[in-house]
Structure 1
Amino acid sequence: MSDTKNTNKAAKMTLFALTWPIFIEILLHMLMGNADTLMLSQFSDDAVAAVGVSNQIMSVIIVMFGFVATGTTILIAQNIGAKKESRAGQIAVVSIIANILFGFLLSIILFFFGEQILTAMNLPDELLGTAVIYIKIVGGVSFVQALIMTLSAIVKSHGFTKDAMYVTLGMNVLNIFGNYIFIFGAFGAPVLGVTGVALSTAVSRTIGTIILFVLLYKRVNGDLPWSFLVKKFPKKELKDLLRIGIPSAGEQLSYNSSQMVITYFIASMGTTALTTRVYTLNIMMIAFLFAIAIGQGTQIIVGYLIGEKKNEEAYQRCLKSLWIGMSVSTFAALIFALFSEELLSIFTSNQEIIQLGSLLLLLTVILEPGRAFNLIVINCLRAAGDVKFPVYIGILSMWGVSVTISYAAGIWLGLGLIGIWIALIMDEWLRGLLMLHRWKTRKWERMSFVDEQEIEEFKIDTKREVK
């Protein structure tokens, strides 16, 4: 694919064209988790709580995989915008190999030390055995998730967001079919419960990875110089990926770690509180996926614009996307709050869980606009190269506000999950307003990962390789 072709393609990209497939893809990912929860709820509420805590650990692992994927998305977008197609291909190759190796390492850790990690999270004894089975199976093949994230990032950065959507759709169908077989014993299969859900998840993700490799070959293989790794150690490419990825992952890792501590607090409140949180989060995730999709689509566009040195267009694009994301996600939260009892009744008949979950969904109407700031503006800051500021502010707010007030309000004052939700609202709004202020200062204009000197150096290196 030529530089001109990619540049023209980038110019034609609109927020809607990029975002709607991402929206469907994320929705399908969330529905996969919801399907597991819904189908397991017919088996046992305890099983739901055990898988929910295990997935809390998996979310931290996914963030650690995401540091390479995040750097990949931004660097490919900026380099295509700057007409450096060959460099974008080199970054893609390095990111694939790096996440494969990193994924194998974390898979080994989860398989052999999953029980110790779950025990450290204060998981009730009646849930531990079930959670260990799930974490060993799903965590043991978590390197597959690392590949999915990296391959998807490459494909989407080149504008093929529909491909990632179709793959996720296929994984959902396979996962639900596998759940049906192993939870309900369809077609004479044994009833395996959580074990069956874990196996279904692992198999569907593995097949999805294979399909993504095929799509990668068809869509952008001409731009991926695999022989590049044989010629030299990719020091420059790894350095650039880490410059973006480590700070970006730091912010996400801090968030997920703080959520694990909060889960520890909730675990001390009992299985009912844990289960309520799992059901409520499954519904909430659908509400804020609008902002997630808009944030990811905006990140790609801003990356292209920064690479093309169109800073004013990038500035305005972020602000427009922010207001769109806030409006849509808040509207969705209102709908779910109005029909909270009906939605929670899909998962459980326990009236205590339904009443408490309804109160949490009402508070979510206040939570979602603040969350939109972080999901959209932070993505724009990263796309522009400003990756450290969100980490510093995030760590201070997540631990100084979210964790501290969760303990004070939820445990010390005895407000339970209501106190935890109040802490989350304060954290999201504080970080969101600070991120918006940072964007408006425009300090990010001096932080692009593609500068004129680097372009000239790359041209010289390319000419040498040709000779």
Structure 2
Amino acid sequence: MEITQNTREYLFSDKNLYKLIFPLIIEQFLLVTVGLADSIMIASIGEAAVSAVSLVDSINILIINIFTALATGGAVVAGQYLGQKNENNACKSADQLILFLFLSSITTMVIGYLCKYFILNIVFGNIEQDVMNYSNTYLTIVFMSIPFIAIYNGGAALFRTMGNSKITMKISIMMNLINLIGNYFLIYVFKMGIAGAAIPTVFSRAVAAIVIFILIKNDNLQIHLSKKMCMKFDRILIRKILHIGIPNGLENGMFQLGKIIVLNLIATFGTAAIAANAVANAVGLFQIIPGMAISQATLSVTSQCIGAGDYDQTKYYTRKLVKISTLCISLAVILTFISMPLILNAYNLSDYTATISKDIILYHGIVSIIIWTISFVIPNTLRAANDVKFCMTVSILSMWIFRIGFSYVLGRYMNMGVFGVWVAMSIDWIFRVVCFITRYKGNKWKLHEI
């Protein structure tokens, strides 16, 4: 049944969708561009510092992904209650989410410090002494930010659930400006080296966490924290949050681990392959920035539709967001194609490396237009319906069998090199598309209740 103005009131107007999606695109764009500027400043310290930050960030990203998944679980539960017009339970879910994130992040931070020797010497392996020293300093400082990034992610997820991504965009701008300005002064002016890169990261995340915590306590909001938060766990609500959060966390964690394995394979192809992959990754991220933002918006929109028990609207908005995402990705891809000569010249690559980069960017852009949206937007509708175990199973199997497996088959054994790794990634996407479309067209995903 198609939704019309005569049969049903829309939960989200076009203006509501724009107000939700546009700030998310800006926020994603900031993450990519500021990350690039950050790496350039760290590069001024030396190659050992760049290597150290890269190693420690591989652990940080894993931790952040886990807390982002938990925040998503809380946001979906709160969003479904909001769709049911049950604001009281939505607020209780917010209380439980922030409490759980705070306590679990403190525990994670303590475990991280206790396992520091294991991380530096076993996980990172046989690294040079200067890289080891930088890694030790950077890890020791940055691990202090774990509780702050957990609280920020929780608050940001709740604001997005209410359709208010403008707040998270503003806080993201503030956080990134603090980080960039802090890096500039501590690295270039005060010559603090790797500590100068770590301290602003902690400080900016602390400020962001404090600001979003204060804002989410505003009782005029549909979802807000209680003035006197209960410090006891509500087992029923925590179970509902973890029902979504744990599968998401496992999925994100395995995905990050898989990326590390693929990067190790790419390293065996030589310097040109590593450089081409790095450039293609940077440009490829710009190509899918709109899709990443719309994927987040899909979770917020469809969780409320599902909470209201309106699966017609759920499908209506999913179709609409898929179309918007495909259009926006197409525009972003065309922009990168037009500006590709300028981009490749900016990296000062050799002709051979530039050719590899160009081939990958062209291939990734075309494939992204055709299948990225279905592969990553549709599953967020399923997650909003609590069909998280199916999404987790498909994503993990697809990652390990198709992306990693075919990376070795195409890249190493068929001598396609780094280009073969990117072809393997698209095979992973195709498998995801087949599985998620089949699931979406059926009815099993509609049978999960909060």
Do 2:216 and 2:225's aligned partners in 1 also have CA atoms closer than 8 Å? Answer: no
- The match for 1:459 is none
Tell me how far apart the structure 2 counterparts of residues 233 and 208 of structure 1 sit (CA, whole Å).
Answer: 25
Letter aligned with residue 236 of structure 2: K
Identity of aligned residues (%): 25
- What is the Cα deviation at residue 105 of structure 1? 2.4
- The match for 1:196 is 196
Does 1:135 pair with 2:143?
no
Moved more, 143-152 or 103-112: 103-112
Tell me how far apart the structure 1 counterparts of residues 209 and 418 of structure 2 sit (CA, whole Å).
Answer: 37
Does 1:325 pair with 2:325?
yes
Gaps of 5+ in 1: 1-7, 450-467
Tell me how far apart the structure 2 counterparts of residues 441 and 213 of structure 1 sit (CA, whole Å).
Answer: 40
Tell me how far apart the structure 2 counterparts of residues 85 and 251 of structure 1 sit (CA, whole Å).
Answer: 30
Tell me how far apart the structure 2 counterparts of residues 420 and 53 of structure 1 sit (CA, whole Å).
Answer: 21
Note the alpha carbon deviations across 1:288-320, whole angstroms, 9 max, x for none. Answer: 121111111122111111111211111121122
After superposition, where does 1:267-278 map in structure 2 within 5 Å? 267-269=267-269, 273-278=273-278
- The match for 1:339 is 339
Note the alpha carbon deviations across 1:116-145, whole angstroms, 9 max, x for none. Answer: 436535675375544444333323422211
Structure number having the greater helix percentage: 1
Letter aligned with residue 75 of structure 1: V
Question: SS of the residue aligned with 1:224?
Answer: coil
| Aligned CA distance change for structure 1 residues 344 and 116 (closer, same or farther; 3 Å) | farther
Give the alignment partner of residue 120 of structure 1, picking from 109, 120, 123: 123
- The match for 2:405 is 404
Does 1:163 pair with 2:167?
yes
Tell me how far apart the structure 2 counterparts of residues 306 and 392 of structure 1 sit (CA, whole Å).
Answer: 22
Letter aligned with residue 139 of structure 2: I
Tell me how far apart the structure 2 counterparts of residues 341 and 53 of structure 1 sit (CA, whole Å).
Answer: 31
- What is the Cα deviation at residue 160 of structure 1? 2.2
After superposition, where does 1:256-267 map in structure 2 within 5 Å? 256-267=256-267
Tell me how far apart the structure 1 counterparts of residues 154 and 393 of structure 2 sit (CA, whole Å).
Answer: 26
- What is the Cα deviation at residue 100 of structure 1? 1.1
Do 2:90 and 2:223's aligned partners in 1 also have CA atoms closer than 8 Å? Answer: no
Tell me how far apart the structure 2 counterparts of residues 359 and 113 of structure 1 sit (CA, whole Å).
Answer: 42
Tell me how far apart the structure 1 counterparts of residues 170 and 443 of structure 2 sit (CA, whole Å).
Answer: 37
| Aligned CA distance change for structure 1 residues 356 and 109 (closer, same or farther; 3 Å) | farther
Moved more, 98-107 or 276-285: 276-285
- The match for 1:464 is none
Give the alignment partner of residue 38 of structure 1, picking from 40, 64, 83: 40
Question: SS of the residue aligned with 2:85?
Answer: coil
Does 1:241 pair with 2:241?
yes
Note the alpha carbon deviations across 1:140-191, whole angstroms, 9 max, x for none. Answer: 42221111100111222223211111000011111111222233x23xx115
Tell me how far apart the structure 2 counterparts of residues 51 and 270 of structure 1 sit (CA, whole Å).
Answer: 21
Letter aligned with residue 120 of structure 1: V
- What is the Cα deviation at residue 64 of structure 1? 0.9
Supply the RMSD in Å over aligned alpha carbons.
2.8
| Aligned CA distance change for structure 1 residues 276 and 325 (closer, same or farther; 3 Å) | same
Do 1:49 and 1:271's aligned partners in 2 also have CA atoms closer than 8 Å? Answer: no
Moved more, 73-82 or 360-369: 360-369
Moved more, 437-446 or 201-210: 437-446
- The match for 2:31 is 29
Letter aligned with residue 423 of structure 1: A
- What is the Cα deviation at residue 102 of structure 1? 1.6
Tell me how far apart the structure 2 counterparts of residues 139 and 25 of structure 1 sit (CA, whole Å).
Answer: 23
Tell me how far apart the structure 2 counterparts of residues 296 and 319 of structure 1 sit (CA, whole Å).
Answer: 15
TM-score normalised over the length of structure 2: 0.88
Do 1:67 and 1:249's aligned partners in 2 also have CA atoms closer than 8 Å? Answer: yes
Do 2:94 and 2:223's aligned partners in 1 also have CA atoms closer than 8 Å? Answer: no
| Aligned CA distance change for structure 1 residues 342 and 206 (closer, same or farther; 3 Å) | same
| Aligned CA distance change for structure 1 residues 40 and 415 (closer, same or farther; 3 Å) | farther
After superposition, where does 1:343-358 map in structure 2 within 5 Å? 343-347=343-347, 353-358=353-358
Letter aligned with residue 441 of structure 1: G
Tell me how far apart the structure 2 counterparts of residues 20 and 61 of structure 1 sit (CA, whole Å).
Answer: 27
Moved more, 158-167 or 37-46: 37-46
Does 1:91 pair with 2:86?
no
- The match for 2:253 is 253
| Aligned CA distance change for structure 1 residues 227 and 235 (closer, same or farther; 3 Å) | farther
- Give the length in aligned residue pairs: 437
Note the alpha carbon deviations across 1:242-273, whole angstroms, 9 max, x for none. Answer: 11111222222221121122122234445664
| Aligned CA distance change for structure 1 residues 333 and 55 (closer, same or farther; 3 Å) | farther
Moved more, 413-422 or 350-359: 350-359
After superposition, where does 1:381-420 map in structure 2 within 5 Å? 381-420=382-421
Tell me how far apart the structure 1 counterparts of residues 60 and 268 of structure 2 sit (CA, whole Å).
Answer: 21
Moved more, 127-136 or 328-337: 127-136
Note the alpha carbon deviations across 1:190-213, whole angstroms, 9 max, x for none. Answer: 151x43222222221111111112
Does 1:380 pair with 2:381?
yes
- The match for 2:290 is 290
